[in-house]
Amino acid sequence: MPRRSGPDALAQEARFVFKGTVKKLRAATMREVPIDARTVVVRVDEVIQAPEAMSHYAGQDITVLLPAKKKVKKGQQSVFYTNGLLFGDSVAVQAVDHHEVEKIPAALALASGGDPVRNLAVKDVQARVSSADVIVSGRVTSVRVPSDMVAARAAGVADPTATGPISEHDPDWRVGEIQVDQVHKGSHKGRIAEVRFPNSPDVMWYNAPKFHPGQEGFFILHKSTRERVAARAAPTDDTGEYVALHPADFRPFDEPGGIRNVLGLPE
Amino acid sequence: MATRKTRRRVTARKARSTRSRVARRGAARGAVHAPPGFLLINMIPHSLSGETSQDSEPHLTVNPANPNMIIGTAFSPNPGGGALGPVYKSLNGGNTWIVQAIVPSVAGSGIGTGDITTSFNRTGSKLYGGILRAGTGALEFLRTNAPAFPPMTVLASRPNADQPFTHATTVPSGPGAGQDRVYIGDNDFAAPGGKTQTVDQSLNAGVGPPVAFGSVRVEKRTTVGQDGPQCRPVVHSDGTAYAAFYGWRALTGSFPANTLVVTSADVVVVRDDKWGAGGFVNLKEPPLPAGDGLPGKRVIKGVSFPFMRNGTAATGQQRIGGTISIAVHPNNSSVVYLAWGDRQPGSFLTVHVRRSTDRGVTWSGPGDLLTIPNATNAALAIASTGEIGLLCQQVTGTGAGQRWVTHLQRSPNGIVWTDLVLATVPATTPVKTFDPYIGDYDHLVAVGSKFFGIFSANNTPNMANFPNGITYQRNANFTTHTLLNVNNSSPVAASIDPFFFKV
Amino acid sequence: MRDSRRLMEAQHPTFVFMGTVKKLKKATMSGVPVDERTAVVRVDQIVEAPPDLTGYLGQNITVQLAGRHNVRVEEQLVFHTVGWMFGDSVAVRSLREESAKSSRAAMLRPSDDPVKRRAQQHVRGRFDAADLVVSGRIIAVRLPKGPTSQGHRVAAGIHGPITEHEPKWREAILQVDEVLKGAPPGRRLVVKFPASSDVMWYGAPQLHAGEEAFFMLHRTEADPSEPSGAKPRKGKARTTGTAEARSYRLLDAADVQPCDEQNGFRAILEAASAKHKR
């Protein structure tokens, strides 16, 4: 897939975005990194967007592996779009790209000086919003076990395998009904939206939203037929029109900023 | 982030001074002094001092040609959040560790990858892996080159299977010399007839892609509709391949209700004398009435154990679902040790160890060589000296006093065992984020005369938790028993970390 | 109020122990009114106790005797008590005393966990009080329909006072596997429970779709905070009309017993069944 090069696209692709000054060329802060023309030592001047584990690196020297055909000069300050690569006594990151400081997009400039972890979380929400089929605001009115699974269990009470393979990674699907107040993206017919989600606390599913009746907020919905992973151990009948698999797929009403900013809604 | 000069680190020297004090008390209780050269280290590197992930379900592989090169894995997210999951890498025999992102994953994954195991080939030139891909859950077979370890290449991918367990080797001589042979045990729900135990193998995995993998269905008997997740292959340098698994014959209870019990399972060992090319049918039971004439020796028949969806307080927050491990003597492929778990009175899972000296045809018994109650995560290895090692994790105590105790049991002959307690940590804290809490397995290997192992446990920096000493790379205050962030001052909550040891 | 409290207390001792009377008309702490019913008692064996009182084994505490018979110094008795005062020491009110030699409680093994034993007694009490006891699975949890349910105020308008103690009623649809006591109206039942985390509802069980357990159910009584007239919903979670006409509720955490029987619920069922047969 061709790589998008605009700053917004880069901020989506890169998890660790920072403003930094090149200190050394052909150098590294870790002995485990093979040094060549693409390895540079950069001082992190300001962390703009970062996962929690990398949010405290301001003021530190780290190793950056530049992409092919990208060069920097000693003393140059740039915004680096990177992903983590090596973590030891120091850190080495793989740069997706870098831009002059003056060229960073307005949104990223606004984020500058803010909480970098929150900035990344907002980016994740933006990505989910972008890929969503439908976004609604509303309230969960019920959560049920898919009806065909209920029937299968009732029939197979004596046979634990009647409802499908027994695996510690079984998603344990549930279907939530959302009473829709407003549709913010896409189109949805009717006042009820059914969304399937994995109830399992297993490592493969623990991060997915777990809905409960009474929950109110924004629901970022993807068609269940489009999400390949939703087919895993899926019910055959009561499948739900949508599926929620990502922690960012639900945003409560009382979350400050967040999706309201993304959707351009008033506070 | 503190510099190398100023970071605080508990060294083996300090640990030794504490160890000698502790060891004297330990000796009175029957534990042993740590042997010379013993190393136990928390694998989280200094730059990740602030991490609080539940890094459970660890696995390990040591480069047989260069034991200084070691790769460890666990449910660890890429700290940088990119589209590759991490491995833990040491190039100095485990004395220091870094985290390197090379496993195909999905950006922002909270776990890095689903189930993962890796194995070096015999020459140490390649690292193979089996994973359940984060995001899709697909079973994928991977490969990368050592020592550069670029991002791993996906050699094969398919859905609907569970718990890949990887063993790789290289044919040393004779036909196929130099070919990498890779064996990945898994529970393949797509297998016909509910005989799901499978060894996916490639007899020449070092070339290509494409790399051909074939599925060998090692379960030959009727099941309840499936087998358990554990299929453990191991291959000797002379081409003798073994695999061990549970064959599920009867169930009761409800998996969603967390009450499922496998009421009858066979502990089965299969064998192939030609690198797996024969389909693992060389170890057959005698015909009726002594056996059933089918491939696969039922070492123990009709065992029972819970297969939990979620861990509970009674099980130290760790889900229990059986445990199996098999090891072959490096100098004699006829000698095989087997460990498995089953439910016994007063014990949610008891680990048993037995031995065969005739290539799996007959086994020691009726008694065990070793029995450990309320334990799981059994991992066996045999050193070149013939010494047998068993790593396992045991729950002791109840309520607030409940603890996970990690043992390394060693024996020169399988009869007299010496226990080395690696860690004794609280079982009720931290509260689990997901299942599994410490892991559905850990791992032990032997290279030469040494054992190398990995387990996951509560990472509170308290010397009392590590009676034979410990080294931390991440910032930690052993006086206040507090983890510290990279700034060496902000406290960090306790979590589950992977620990490496060698002895 | 006092009579009703005494009546309730008489039925539910929370701290049962075997002890030896050491002093009469004395107390172990200041602030306790001392009279002919006040005694200092050494706790010899704890039979049932809440976690906070298990540490008093071997200690002297103050007991306000029930006053139903005379007590002598050095007499060993089994005391059925409730907590009264907690300061430097502990003072408890005895609901009744019985001879240690003839008491069944005294025959229990000292090694038995008194906290666990008390919990089991509580479960037994809930079983006896239940209208219906079943095993089964929650197949759906929903918001009750009804104008008195707070929450969706924009559409429905506000009904009733806004209070932090609002119970946030939910309805769980329970598919029955096995009936252990009583006679359910159908194989699917509606069970109401408060989803609120407010102090007023603390300890009430929270039910979730997919949950499997033993359920000790109590028929609902008229309650102004409860929504009325919840009708069967159309859609995937089908329920029969007759089952929903009579609903049940859960307010006590002990009313839901997990299937893996950590609390020995099967033993309680068997004892109850044997008692019933006698």
Residue type, C101: K
Kindly provide the b/e burial profile for residues B458-475, where b requires at least 16 CB atoms within 10 angstroms of the residue's own CB: bbbbbbebbbbbbbbbbb
Measure the CA–CA gap between A238 and C238, rounded to whole angstroms.
12
Measure the CA–CA gap between B81 and A14, rounded to whole angstroms.
8
Whether A142 sits inside 8 A of C141 (CB atoms) is yes
**Two tokens, residue B16:** 């030794």
Residues sharing a CB contact under 8 Å with residue B120, sequence separation 6 or more, in sequence order: B61, B62, B63, B64, B69, B71, B126, B127, B128, B146, B168
Count A/C contacts: CB-CB distance under 8 Å. 68
Q: Whose CA is closest to A218, among A178, A251, A175?
A: A251
Residues A150-157, mean pLDDT to the nearest whole number: 75
Whether B100 sits inside 8 A of A172 (CB atoms) is no
- Collect all residues of chain C within an 8 Å Cβ-Cβ radius of residue A157: 177
Residues A11-37, mean pLDDT to the nearest whole number: 92
Nearest CA in chain A to C144: A141
- A1 half-sphere exposure, CB direction, 13 A CA radius: 4
Nearest CA in chain A to C136: A154
Of C152, C168, C170, the CB nearest to A139: C152
Give, as one character, the DSSP assignment of residue C237.
S
- Output the CA–CA distances (angstroms, integers) from residue A102 to A67, B383, C115, in the order listed: 21, 61, 68
Regions of chain C short of the pLDDT cut 70: 1-11, 105-111, 146-162, 221-246, 261-263, 273, 275-278
Map B142-174 to HEC letters: EEEECCCCCCCEEEEEECCEEEEEEEEEECCCC
**Two tokens, residue A203:** 């490592």
C104 has a chain A CB within 8 A of its CB = no
- DSSP conformation letters of B89-114: EESSTTSS-EEEEEEE--TT-SSSSS
Nearest CA in chain C to B311: C260
> What pLDDT score does B19 carry?
34
Which carries the bigger pLDDT value, residue A99 or residue B30? A99
- Which of A30-39, A67-76, C154-163 shows the lowest per-residue confidence on average (mean pLDDT)? C154-163
Long-range pairs of A106-109 with CB within 8 A, sequence gap ≥ 24 = A107/A8, A108/A7, A108/A8, A108/A11, A108/A17, A108/A48, A108/A49, A108/A79
Whether C210 sits inside 8 A of A175 (CB atoms) is no
Query: Is-same-fold flag (C2-112; C125-277)?
Result: yes
- B214 half-sphere exposure, CB direction, 13 A CA radius: 13
Whether C260 sits inside 8 A of B258 (CB atoms) is yes
Whether A214 sits inside 8 A of C151 (CB atoms) is yes
Whether B253 sits inside 8 A of C259 (CB atoms) is yes
Residues sharing a CB contact under 8 Å with residue A5, sequence separation 6 or more, in sequence order: A97
The residue ranges of every structural domain in chain C are 2-112, 125-277
- A102 half-sphere exposure, CB direction, 13 A CA radius: 1
Measure the CA–CA gap between A42 and C108, rounded to whole angstroms.
72
A90 has a chain B CB within 8 A of its CB = yes
Measure the CA–CA gap between B282 and B278, rounded to whole angstroms.
8
Of C170, C177, C235, the CB nearest to A213: C170
Kindly give the confidence (pLDDT) of every residue in chain B, 503 residues in length, as a single tens digit, with 9 standing for 90 and above: 444 433 334 443 343 333 332 222 222 223 456 888 999 999 999 888 989 999 999 999 999 999 999 999 999 988 877 788 999 999 999 999 989 889 999 876 777 889 999 999 999 999 999 999 988 889 999 999 999 899 999 999 998 899 999 999 999 999 999 999 999 999 999 999 999 999 999 999 999 989 999 999 999 999 999 999 999 999 999 999 999 999 999 999 888 888 899 999 999 999 999 999 999 999 999 999 999 999 999 999 999 999 998 899 999 999 999 999 999 999 999 999 999 999 999 999 999 999 999 999 999 999 999 999 999 999 999 999 999 999 999 999 988 899 999 999 999 999 999 999 999 999 999 999 999 999 999 999 999 999 999 999 999 999 999 999 999 999 999 999 999 988 888 899 999 999 999 99
Nearest CA in chain A to B162: A167
Count B/C contacts: CB-CB distance under 8 Å. 22
Which option is the CATH number for C125-277: 3.20.20.70, 3.40.33.10, 2.60.120.10, 2.40.50.120?
A: 2.40.50.120
Instruction: Tell me the angle at which helices C114-129 and C265-277 cross, rounded to the nearest 10 degrees.
Output: 50
- Output the CA–CA distances (angstroms, integers) from residue B340 to B195, B218, B319, B383, in the order listed: 20, 18, 16, 20
Q: Around Cβ B282, how many Cβ atoms within 10 Å?
A: 17
- Collect all residues of chain C within an 8 Å Cβ-Cβ radius of residue A152: none
Residues sharing a CB contact under 8 Å with residue A177, sequence separation 6 or more, in sequence order: A140, A141, A142, A143, A144, A192, A193, A194, C142, C235
Helix (H) or strand (E) holding C6: helix C2-11
Q: Whose CA is closest to C211, among A251, B257, B305?
A: B257
Kindly provide the b/e burial profile for residues A132-171, where b requires at least 16 CB atoms within 10 angstroms of the residue's own CB: bbbbbbbbbbbbbbbbebbebbeeeeeebbebbbbbbbbb
**Two tokens, residue A155:** 């029939």
The winner for highest mean pLDDT among A42-56, A224-238, C147-161, C256-270 is: A42-56
> What pLDDT score does A109 carry?
57
ipTM associated with this complex: 0.78
Measure the CA–CA gap between B214 and B192, rounded to whole angstroms.
15
Q: List the CATH code of the domain at C2-112.
A: 2.40.50.320
Q: Name the minimum distance, in Å, from the CA of C237 to any CA of chain A.
A: 7
Measure the CA–CA gap between B69 and B500, rounded to whole angstroms.
13
> What pLDDT score does B9 carry?
42
Whether C260 sits inside 8 A of B254 (CB atoms) is no
Measure the CA–CA gap between B422 and B316, rounded to whole angstroms.
18
Q: In which band, very low, low, confident or very high, does the pLDDT at A257 lie, cut at 50, 70 and 90?
A: low
**Peptide bond before residue B210 is cis, with ω within 30 degrees of 0:** yes
CB C243 within 8 A of CB C190: yes
> What pLDDT score does B470 carry?
96
Q: In which band, very low, low, confident or very high, does the pLDDT at A153 lie, cut at 50, 70 and 90?
A: confident
Which carries the bigger pLDDT value, residue A111 or residue C24? C24
List, in sequence order, the alpha helices (H) in C84-196. 104-107, 114-129, 153-156
> What pLDDT score does B11 carry?
43
User: For the whole model, what pTM was predicted?
Assistant: 0.82
Measure the CA–CA gap between B218 and B276, rounded to whole angstroms.
11
Of C210, C258, C262, the CB nearest to B256: C210
Cα torsion at B111, B114, B120, B121 (round to 10°)?
A: -160
